[in-house]
Structure 1
Amino acid sequence: MPILDAVLLFLAGFLSGAVNAVAGGGTFITFGAMTLAGLPPIVANATSSVTQFPGYITSTLAYWHDIKHFWRGALLLSLISALGALSGALILLSLDNPSFRALVPWLLLAATALFAAGPWLKPAPKPEHEAAVGSLVGSLAQFATAVYGGFFGAGMGVMMLATLGLTQSGDYHRLNALKNMLAVVIAAVAILVFVSGGVIAWLQAIIMIPGGALGGYAGVWIARRVPQNAVRGFVIAVGLFLAFYYFDKG
């Protein structure tokens, strides 16, 4: 691998971890960097899932105090999420790179719009209720979100938080904890499928993961000095740039 590509990937991992810590949306950066480094879109998408996975784990552990009160009740949604992620990942592997490439700009535009709308999609606090699961509508919404997450993860967190806010009870922190727990399930299943399909670029992932860890730590410093709206604007600009890049390449 050229040194310049390695530096680009490490910096992308750092930026991804930093923006995830401040506003979310790091997948846009990791996917974009691997695309610019010459990886096929399916490989870039699958490898991006690997680079984001440690962040899902740490975010879930940070909410462990909330999760331990409802995890048994969330097992049904976890199973639904696993089935949805399996479906989405298998759909991705059934496509060839030209077919997926044709979908990518539309997926990026949709994910960017979803990310931009994120502040207006956050659920209203309902502290008087416990986080609950089990409705048919909630199960179907989570299955659809998990299919999307297994197929193309950008914007999944915003989508899941919005659907959980509409279909489940609980205050914002409980819903965010549930979202993080389900994101781990979705990512883990998708990664297993991608590994079995041989579409992970391990060298690129190994370079980006330490950068992401450092970026997540630096995100605390950035959050105190850079307005969240500025970070969100940067992520939206990256998403739009990638969308138009793929439109131009198509």
Structure 2
Amino acid sequence: MTLLDIIVLAVAGFAAGTINAIAGGGTFISFAALVFTGLNTLEANATSAVALTPANLASVAAYRSEVRTHFREMIPFMVIGLFGGGIGALLLIWLGDGGFRPLVPWLLLVATLLFAFSTNIRRFTEPWSKGDRPGARIAAYVLMSVVAIYGGFFGAGIGIMMLAALSIIEGGDYHKANSVKILVAFLIQVVSAALLIAGGLVHWPHAVITMLASAAGGYLGVGVARRVPEKAIRATVVTVGAVLTVIFFLK
């Protein structure tokens, strides 16, 4: 790696960890930086997944009060995250770079649209949280299962879809829902990372630099999440996602 590569990965890792702690979408940044440093799309995706795992753990630590308070309620989502993340990672390994590369611009497009219309998505799911609807929890579990598999496969955009799933049963408690999102995302990445490492897809020099920077960003990002308007962060993520989508469609 060149000095420029190291600087790019450090800055991207810190930004990705911070953004993931606030609204999700940090994968956009880390994935693009890893491709910039010369990794193919499959290796960049796998290395990004491994590198961002400690950042999510740091964010879980920062949300430890909410996690302790609501831990029992989180258990079903934790189980879904573990199984879904494993399925998604195995699917990624099975496809290989030849199968994954053509999907990248479409995955980026879907993730960008999720962020762009996140307010509408949340508004659509919020009515489910009003009253005691028997199907609400089942719907949340089904949506979370789909998101977990997608998260093990790619990861960009899972934060907003998790929050949408959680809004079905949690109503307006943002920090409770965000703590569940961060914990489940961490578990998805743990099992996904283990499988991707076993598959030999991770480039460790790139991963370590991104990992250290993203862990710092992940911990500090929770403090930012309590002060910075979520709309500002989401607008940034949408802009980055749109640019990357165009670039990968043209490449």
What SS does the corresponding residue of 1:154 show, helix, strand or coil?
coil
Pairing 1:195–2:197 present: yes
The offset of 1:247, in angstroms, is 1.2
Structure 1 66/125 Cα, relative in aligned 2: closer, same or farther at 3 Å?
A: farther
What SS does the corresponding residue of 2:39 show, helix, strand or coil?
coil
Amino acid across the alignment from 1:188: V
Question: Which of 180, 183, 187 in structure 2 is aligned with 1:181?
Answer: 183
What SS does the corresponding residue of 2:71 show, helix, strand or coil?
coil
Amino acid across the alignment from 2:198: S
- Between stretches 104-113 and 170-179, larger displacement belongs to 170-179
Percent sequence identity over aligned pairs: 41
> Paired residue for 1:155?
157
Does structure 1 conserve the Cα–Cα contact (< 8 Å) formed by 2:17 and 2:56?
Answer: no
> Paired residue for 1:136?
138
What SS does the corresponding residue of 2:72 show, helix, strand or coil?
coil
Taking the aligned partners of 2:231 and 2:72, their CA distance within structure 1 comes to 36
Amino acid across the alignment from 1:62: A
Does structure 1 conserve the Cα–Cα contact (< 8 Å) formed by 2:86 and 2:152?
Answer: yes
Structure 1 147/72 Cα, relative in aligned 2: closer, same or farther at 3 Å?
A: same
Taking the aligned partners of 1:146 and 1:187, their CA distance within structure 2 comes to 9
Question: Which of 232, 243, 250 in structure 2 is aligned with 1:248?
Answer: 250
Amino acid across the alignment from 2:157: G
- Between stretches 98-107 and 175-184, larger displacement belongs to 175-184
> Paired residue for 2:214?
212
- Between stretches 32-41 and 68-77, larger displacement belongs to 68-77
The offset of 1:172, in angstroms, is 2.5
Q: How many residues align?
A: 248
Alignment RMSD (CA, Å): 3.2
What SS does the corresponding residue of 2:38 show, helix, strand or coil?
coil
Amino acid across the alignment from 2:67: I
**For structure 1, which runs of at least 5 residues remain unmatched after alignment?**
none
Structure 1 169/52 Cα, relative in aligned 2: closer, same or farther at 3 Å?
A: same
What SS does the corresponding residue of 1:74 show, helix, strand or coil?
helix
The offset of 1:37, in angstroms, is 1.4
User: After superposition, where does 1:24-173 map in structure 2 within 5 Å?
Assistant: 24-122=24-122, 135-167=137-169, 171-173=173-175
The offset of 1:232, in angstroms, is 3.2
What SS does the corresponding residue of 1:153 show, helix, strand or coil?
coil
**For structure 2, which runs of at least 5 residues remain unmatched after alignment?**
none
Amino acid across the alignment from 1:114: L
Which is helix-richer, 1 or 2?
2
Amino acid across the alignment from 1:65: S
Taking the aligned partners of 2:161 and 2:88, their CA distance within structure 1 comes to 15
The offset of 1:103, in angstroms, is 0.4
Taking the aligned partners of 1:232 and 1:138, their CA distance within structure 2 comes to 23
Structure 1 199/222 Cα, relative in aligned 2: closer, same or farther at 3 Å?
A: same
Structure 1 2/238 Cα, relative in aligned 2: closer, same or farther at 3 Å?
A: same
Does structure 2 conserve the Cα–Cα contact (< 8 Å) formed by 1:18 and 1:218?
Answer: yes
Does structure 2 conserve the Cα–Cα contact (< 8 Å) formed by 1:157 and 1:179?
Answer: yes
